[in-house]
Amino acid sequence: MSTDNRLLHALYRDMRRIRSLEERVSELFVRSESAGSMLHLSIGEEGIAGVVHAMERQDSFTTHHRGHGIFVARGAEPARMLAEIAGKANGYCRGKGGSMHIADMGLGHLGANAIVGGGIAHAVGAALAYKRKKQPRVSVAFFGDGAMQQGILYESMNLAALWSLPVVFACINNQYGMGTRVDRAAANLAFDDRARAFGLDGVIVDGADVELVHETAERVLSNARQGKPGFMSLTCYRFYGHARMDKSPYRDEAEEAAGRARDPLKKARDKLIARGAKAAELDALDAEIAAEMDAALEAAVNSSLPSVDSMFEDVFAPDQPKPVPVRTRLNAILSEAAK
């Protein structure tokens, strides 16, 4: 394979793994094995693999609530991800965070966030630390178009530009903040203009074209590493509802069909085949990934739930006293022995 094809092949693989994982997240819910229904799928947004692929090993990132894809592209173990989403003890966060608060310091994942825009400033703070410690690291804040309407984003952009921090603001514009289409939430959709207004490089890129996303991200990340923070927005389409229960009553089938036609995975596959890849080889890759994700799903389902006692751990550092359980207090107040 040529270098170009090798890259696209790798990106295709990442994107297939994202979609395949998300399909198992959905299956976890259908089988009543997920912890709740607050599951936000990133199917249709697989182009973010281009950004993740452009990051260096030492870089860090924060994500929004729809961050499964980013994390799996970064190299997360699907079994531990699915275990966390199922609230199991061997999940990334010991079953305490779940889908919306998954994190892994080992992979530089500073945390998914369930407050829209909540993790953006953390990436700025991480970048401040890297700059102060003279580490050649970049922190990437991933968020959706919903966060483009949150004030802290603009405070963060201003700080990043003012202090020349190695940070990238990566918006995944999937066209929807829950059920509100982006043109009903923002008067001006030129989000790159907003970034430029703060002195950042700003670019809007077709999120269905993963090669273009990757090329753009490499440039934006490289600039950020040299103290020139940047903004990029990936235009894509959220194929399914906001969360697992959402049947999308606020949009019609024609719109969904047009949106789903802009499929980053299909586009990459078509390109690979046009460049000489064999459909059978790609099918084999897809099957291999499906088998990996099936095994991860079964491993998660078969994992143990955490012990109830563990809920009092991790409020503070391990060397600190744990919170006093309500039952212990009641016992101290009401038992005969206490009198």
Partner 1 sequence: MSAIETTYREALRQALIDAMNEDPDIVVLGEEVGLYGGAYGVTKGLIDQFGPERILDTPISEAAIVGAAVGAAMSGLRPVAELMYVDFVGIVMDQLANQAAKIRYMFGGQIGVPMVLRSQGGTGRSAAAQHSQSLEAWMAHVPGLRLAMPATVNDAYHLLRHALTLPDPVVFLEHKGLYVQKGTLDTAQPDAPWGKAVVRRAGHDLTIVTYSKMLLESLAAAEQLAAQGVSAEVIDLRTLNPLDEETVANSVRRTHRAMVVTEAHLTGGFSAELSARIHESCFDHLEEPVARVAGEDIPIPVSPPLERNAVPNAQLITETGLWLVQRKAPAWAL
Segment 151 to 170, residues that bind partner 1, using CB under 8 A:
151-152, 155-156, 158-159, 162-163
- Please check whether residue 233 is in contact with residue 205, taking contact to mean a CB–CB distance below 8 angstroms: yes
Could you tell me the smallest distance in angstroms from the CB atom of residue 114 to partner 1?
8
For partner 1, which stretch binds (CB under 8 A), given 101-109, 211-219, 241-249, 253-261?
101-109
Between CA 110 and CA 140 the distance in angstroms is: 10
Which of 226, 258 has the CB closer to partner 1? Answer: 226
| DSSP-assigned letter for residue 104 | B
By CB under 8 A, tell whether 186 contacts partner 1: no
Between CA 150 and CA 25 the distance in angstroms is: 28
- Please check whether residue 120 is in contact with residue 144, taking contact to mean a CB–CB distance below 8 angstroms: no
- Please check whether residue 292 is in contact with residue 24, taking contact to mean a CB–CB distance below 8 angstroms: no
Which of 11, 141 has the CB closer to partner 1? Answer: 141
Helix (H) or strand (E) holding 220: helix 210-225
What's the sign of the alpha-carbon dihedral 332, 333, 334, 335? Answer: positive
∠ CA 103-27-243, nearest 5°, is 65
Could you tell me the smallest distance in angstroms from the CB atom of residue 278 to partner 1?
42
Instruction: Determine which residue in the list 101, 196, 225, 228 makes contact with partner 1, applying CB under 8 A.
Output: 101
| DSSP-assigned letter for residue 273 | H
Instruction: Determine which residue in the list 104, 145, 192, 263 makes contact with partner 1, applying CB under 8 A.
Output: 104
Instruction: Determine which residue in the list 187, 333, 335, 337 makes contact with partner 1, applying CB under 8 A.
Output: 333
Could you tell me the smallest distance in angstroms from the CB atom of residue 178 to partner 1?
18
Between CA 339 and CA 333 the distance in angstroms is: 8
Which of 113, 175 has the CB closer to partner 1? Answer: 113
Segment 119 to 148, residues that bind partner 1, using CB under 8 A:
119-130, 132-133, 139
Contacts of 265 (CB under 8 A, 6+ apart): 12, 15, 16, 19, 46
Structure tokens at 133: 């410690």
Which of 207, 229 has the CB closer to partner 1? Answer: 229
Instruction: Determine which residue in the list 18, 54, 110, 147 makes contact with partner 1, applying CB under 8 A.
Output: 110
- In terms of Cα–Cα distance, which of 40, 38, 43 is closest to 17? 43
Which of 63, 235 has the CB closer to partner 1? Answer: 63
Instruction: Determine which residue in the list 34, 63, 113, 174 makes contact with partner 1, applying CB under 8 A.
Output: 113
Largest CA distance in the chain: 83
Total residues in contact with partner 1, by rule CB under 8 A: 55
Write out the residues near partner 1 by the rule CB under 8 A: 60, 62, 91-97, 101, 103-105, 110-111, 113, 115, 118-130, 132-133, 139, 151-152, 155-156, 158-159, 162-163, 313-321, 323, 329, 332-333, 339
